[in-house]
C-alpha cells in the first residue's frame, strides 16, 4: 500500500544532471512532485506560479565559480518574489562559510555535496514543514484580522463617573505591555473594553484575536489555544496552529477565562511565563510574543478561590484589573446609549428616527436592566423595528416581568375531572420564564444557567436575544 507524500512540490535547481536525478529519486517519497531544472529563471517562474513547499538551490552555476555569488543573486530574487519561501542552499564540501552567509541573507538551511541521504531528507523535510507552518500562520492571522475587524454598533459610551474611571484605567494600561483582566457582569461590555485597550496600544496595527473559553468544549480548549500537529488525536488530520501563536505580535482576548478547567491552567501559566507554546502532540516549543487581555463574570471572591482558579495564573493575568459597572450602577448613561442604539438601528433598517418622550426615557432609566448594555441594545433594536408613529412608547420596549413566585401547598389539591389547565400554555412565554428563572438563580452567570437548562452558551445567548433578555 503506497503512502501519500507529506508535501506537494519541491523544486531542485542545479547545473549537474546527476545531482538533479539523485535529488528527484530521493525526494519523491516525501513530495508528490519533484521538479528539477538547471535554470534558476525557470525555478523563479515556478515560485511565482505554484509556490513550492521547498526549493533546493545550487550556490554556483558558472564553471569554476566557488564564491556563491550566483546563488545569492537567485536567492534574493526568489525571496523577493515570495518572502515566505524556504530555500535550502546546495554548496560544495568546504563551502560552509558561503552557506552561513546565505542563511544570513534568508536561506533556511544548507546541504553540502556530496550529501548524506539522511541529512538531505531531514533538512528538506524540516524546511517544507517550516513552509507549511508559515502558510498556516498566515491563514490564521488573516482569519484573526477578519475576526478583529470592527463590529461597530457598540462603541464604549458613557459619561458617568464610573465610566470615566474605566476610561482612565484604559488610558494608563493600554500603552504598556501589562496583561489586563476585565471583571463584570454579562452584557457590561467586557469585549468592548478589550478592543479599546488593543486600539490604544502599541500593538494596534497587529491583529486582536478572541477566544471564548466558555463556548469551547473542554476537550478542545488545549488544541484551540496551543494548536496541534497532524496525528496528535483522532481528528487531527493536519497541523494547526493555536490561537496564541496566531495572535503573535498582537493581542489575545481570553473571554470567560474563569471557565478554563483547573487542569489546563498550568499549561497556560507556563506559556505566559516562558513566552512559548507547545502544540498538542509536539515536542518542540514555539516562541510567541502576545499580550493577554482576559475577562470573566466571576466575582473577585470566586476568582480568588483556589479550587476554581490558580492564584499564580491570576497574578499573571491581573497585572491591571478593570471592573466594569453594571448598567443599573450608571443609569445616567442610559440616555446616551439609547440615543446611539436607536439611531444606529434606524439607519440599519431604513426607519425614520422617532422622538423618545421623557416619560418613556424615565421608565427605561428606572428599570434594573439585569442583562446590562446588551439587553438595552436588544430592546432598542426591537423598538426600532416594531414602533409606529412619530414617537416611541413604553410598549415598544417590552421590559421583562419578574417571574411569578411559586407557592407550594402541602396538601394535594383535588382537581375536578375535565378542569381547564391553570398554567398558561404558551410555549414562547414559558421558554422565556424558564430562561429568566435560570439566569436569576445563577446571578446571570451564562455558563451555569446554560448548563442547568441543558443548552450551550451560544444557544442560550440566541434565546436571550430572541426574548429581549
Task: Name the band, by pLDDT with cuts 50, 70 and 90, for residue 93.
Answer: low
Residue located via cell numbers 446590562: 372
Quote the mean pLDDT of the chain: 83
The bridge status of strand 286-287 relative to strand 109-113 is unpaired
Angle at Cα 78 formed by Cα 74 and Cα 79, nearest 5°?
120
Angle at Cα 38 formed by Cα 35 and Cα 42, nearest 5°?
65
The bridge status of strand 320-323 relative to strand 180-183 is parallel
Q: Is 281 left (phi over 0), alpha (psi -120 to 50) or beta?
A: left
CA distances 352 to 20, 25, 129, Å, are 73, 72, 57
Is the model's pLDDT at 422 over the cut of 50?
no
CA distance 208 to 210: 7
How confident is the model over 272-279, as a mean pLDDT? 90
Cβ neighbors of 200 (< 8 A, separation 6 or more) are 170, 171, 174, 175
φ, ψ dihedrals at 163, nearest 5°: -75, -30
Task: Give the pLDDT confidence score for residue 425 in this predicted structure.
Answer: 55
Query: Could you give the 3-state DSSP secondary structure of residue 402?
Result: coil
Is the model's pLDDT at 461 over the cut of 60?
yes
Task: Give the pLDDT confidence score for residue 242 in this predicted structure.
Answer: 84
CA distance 439 to 437: 5
Q: What is the pLDDT of residues 409-418, one digit of tens each?
A: 444 444 444 4
Q: What is the pLDDT of residues 363-390, one digit of tens each?
A: 999 999 999 999 999 999 999 999 998 9
Task: Give the pLDDT confidence score for residue 94 in this predicted structure.
Answer: 54
Q: How big is the chain by its Cα radius of gyration, in Å?
A: 30
Angle at Cα 210 formed by Cα 238 and Cα 225, nearest 5°?
40
φ, ψ dihedrals at 231, nearest 5°: 85, 5
Query: Could you give the 3-state DSSP secondary structure of residue 271?
Result: helix
Is the model's pLDDT at 421 over the cut of 90?
no
Q: What is the pLDDT of residues 218-228, one digit of tens each?
A: 778 888 888 88
Cβ neighbors of 398 (< 8 A, separation 6 or more) are 379, 382, 468
CA distance 70 to 244: 40
How confident is the model over 78-94, as a mean pLDDT? 84
pLDDT greater at residue 92 or residue 56: 56
Helices (H), 298-355: 300-303, 311-317, 334-349
Is the model's pLDDT at 430 over the cut of 80?
no
Cβ neighbors of 378 (< 8 A, separation 6 or more) are 371, 465, 468, 469
Task: Name the band, by pLDDT with cuts 50, 70 and 90, for residue 174.
Answer: very high
Q: Show the domains of the chain with their CATH numbers.
A: 7-133 (3.40.50.2300), 161-325 (3.40.50.300), 329-404+422-466 (1.10.8.60)
Task: Give the pLDDT confidence score for residue 338 in this predicted structure.
Answer: 94
Task: Give the pLDDT confidence score for residue 310 in this predicted structure.
Answer: 93
Query: Could you give the 3-state DSSP secondary structure of residue 322?
Result: strand
Task: Give the pLDDT confidence score for residue 156 in this predicted structure.
Answer: 84
Task: Name the band, by pLDDT with cuts 50, 70 and 90, for residue 145.
Answer: low
CB-based burial label for 64 (10 Å; 0-12, 13-18, 19+): exposed
Give me 216's grid cell: 469551547
Q: Give the E-state strand segments of 168-326 in sequence order.
A: 180-183, 208-212, 227-228, 240-241, 251-255, 276-277, 286-287, 291-296, 320-323
Is the model's pLDDT at 150 over the cut of 50?
no
Give the residue among 93, 62, 58 at the shortest CA–CA distance from 75: 58
pTM over 0.85: no
Q: Give the E-state strand segments of 103-189 in sequence order.
A: 109-113, 180-183
Query: Could you give the 3-state DSSP secondary structure of residue 51?
Result: coil
Amino acid at each position: 500500500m503506497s503512502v501519500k507524500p507529506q508535501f506537494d512540490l519541491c523544486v531542485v535547481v542545479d547545473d549537474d544532471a546527476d545531482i538533479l536525478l539523485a535529488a528527484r529519486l530521493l525526494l519523491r517519497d516525501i513530495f508528490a512532485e519533484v521538479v528539477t531544472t538547471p535554470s534558476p529563471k525557470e525555478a523563479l517562474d515556478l515560485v511565482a506560479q505554484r509556490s513550492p513547499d521547498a526549493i533546493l538551490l545550487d550556490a554556483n552555476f558558472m564553471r569554476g565559480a566557488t564564491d556563491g555569488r550566483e546563488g545569492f543573486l537567485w536567492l534574493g530574487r526568489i525571496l523577493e518574489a515570495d518572502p515566505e519561501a524556504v530555500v535550502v542552499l546546495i554548496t560544495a564540501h568546504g563551502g560552509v562559510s558561503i552557506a552561513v552567509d546565505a542563511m544570513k541573507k534568508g536561506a533556511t538551511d544548507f546541504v553540502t555535496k556530496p550529501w548524506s541521504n539522511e541529512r538531505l531528507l531531514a533538512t528538506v523535510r524540516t524546511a517544507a514543514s517550516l513552509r507549511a507552518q508559515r502558510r498556516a500562520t498566515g491563514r490564521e492571522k488573516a482569519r484573526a484580522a477578519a475576526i478583529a475587524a470592527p463590529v461597530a454598533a457598540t462603541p464604549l459610551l458613557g459619561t458617568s463617573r464610573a465610566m470615566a474611571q474605566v476610561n482612565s484605567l484604559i488610558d494608563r494600561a493600554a500603552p504598556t505591555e501589562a496583561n489586563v483582566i476585565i471583571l463584570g457582569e454579562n452584557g457590561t461590555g467586557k469585549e468592548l473594553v478589550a478592543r479599546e485597550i488593543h486600539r490604544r496600544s502599541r500593538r494596534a496595527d497587529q491583529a486582536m484575536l478572541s477566544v471564548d473559553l466558555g463556548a469551547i468544549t473542554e476537550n478542545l480548549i488545549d488544541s484551540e489555544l496551543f494548536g496541534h500537529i497532524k496525528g496528535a488525536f483522532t481528528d487531527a488530520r493536519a497541523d494547526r496552529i493555536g490561537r496564541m501563536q496566531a495572535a503573535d505580535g498582537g493581542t489575545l482576548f481570553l473571554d470567560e477565562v474563569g471557565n478554563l478547567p483547573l487542569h489546563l491552567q498550568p499549561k497556560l501559566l507556563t506559556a505566559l511565563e516562558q513566552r512559548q507554546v507547545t502544540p498538542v502532540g509536539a515536542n518542540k516549543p514555539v516562541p510567541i510574543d502576545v499580550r493577554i487581555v482576559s475577562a470573566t463574570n466571576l466575582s473577585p471572591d470566586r476568582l480568588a478561590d483556589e479550587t476554581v482558579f490558580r492564584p499564580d495564573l491570576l497574578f499573571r493575568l491581573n497585572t491591571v484589573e478593570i471592573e466594569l459597572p453594571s448598567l443599573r450602577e450608571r443609569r445616567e448613561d442610559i440616555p446616551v446609549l439609547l440615543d446611539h442604539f436607536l439611531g444606529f438601528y434606524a439607519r440599519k433598517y431604513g426607519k425614520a428616527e422617532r422622538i423618545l418622550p421623557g416619560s418613556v426615557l424615565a421608565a427605561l432609566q428606572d428599570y434594573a436592566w439585569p442583562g446590562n448594555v446588551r439587553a438595552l441594545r436588544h430592546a432598542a433594536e426591537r423598538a426600532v423595528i416594531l414602533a409606529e408613529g412619530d414617537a416611541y412608547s413604553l410598549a415598544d420596549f417590552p421590559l421583562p416581568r419578574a417571574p411569578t413566585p411559586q407557592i407550594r401547598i402541602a396538601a394535594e389539591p383535588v382537581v375536578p375531572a375535565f378542569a381547564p389547565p391553570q398554567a398558561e400554555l404558551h410555549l414562547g412565554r414559558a421558554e422565556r420564564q424558564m430562561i429568566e428563572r435560570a439566569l436569576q438563580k445563577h446571578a446571570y452567570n451564562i455558563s451555569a444557567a446554560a448548563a442547568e437548562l441543558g443548552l450551550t452558551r451560544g444557544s442560550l445567548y440566541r434565546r436571550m436575544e430572541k426574548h429581549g433578555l
